[in-house]
Amino acid sequence: MTRKNKWIIALFIIGTFGVIVVEGVVNPRIEAKQAQYEADQQDPLTHDFAALAKYRSAYMGDFSNLSHLNQALPLNGQLNGYQLVPETFTAQINYRMNTSEMKPEELERILVYNAAANFVWIDNLEHVLYSFEDVQYTLSREAAQQWAGTELKTLQEPGEWDISVHKKLVEPMQVKAAFSQIVDN
């Protein structure tokens, strides 16, 4: 066997081993991390708020931005369209589910979290109307700001968000109080 053939065989073996390692070890680990990250994005307590910064907008009329923001928030798998009401600076976000499909505490936590995120990243948004198949909830910027205890624009910093929103949504009683304070109806 010539030296050239030995090199070809050695490179083939190294290449095969490399493919086995990448396909059998590296890619499954990457896929598992991605799946875990996506699962974490469905819970306000583990959601990556900093990833939403790219959706900052001065105007609620930027429909593409509003839809992408809400597609990056918890409960995005149940989205069923949007409607903007420019006269009242309201975004209606429709879901294809009944509220009875979730525990009330989980639903309330998600709605408070999502509304606060919408108000923080979209400057002129005044109301968010969440429309489910069985009920509608309207949450207002003014009430969210009173609940947070600070100007919502300052919550764009992840540290401020954690203090003013995230930590207030951990305990069930805090969630219930936040929801009843922010919901207009």
Domain count, the chain: 2
The highest-confidence range among 34-48, 128-142, 170-184, by mean pLDDT, is: 128-142
Residues 71 and 153 in one domain: yes
Which is more confidently placed, 109 or 6?
109
What pLDDT is attached to residue 185?
64
Angle between helices 172-182 and 141-148 (to 10 degrees): 140
pLDDT of 1 over the 90 cut: no
Residues 28 and 88 in one domain: no
- What are the residues whose beta carbons fall under 8 Å from the beta carbon of 142, sequence distance 6 or more? 126
What pLDDT is attached to residue 109?
96
What pLDDT is attached to residue 27?
80
Residues 142 and 162 in one domain: yes
Matching residue, tokens 């009330």: 104
pLDDT of 22 over the 90 cut: no
Residues 5 and 61 in one domain: no
What pLDDT is attached to residue 15?
84
Residues 125 and 97 in one domain: yes
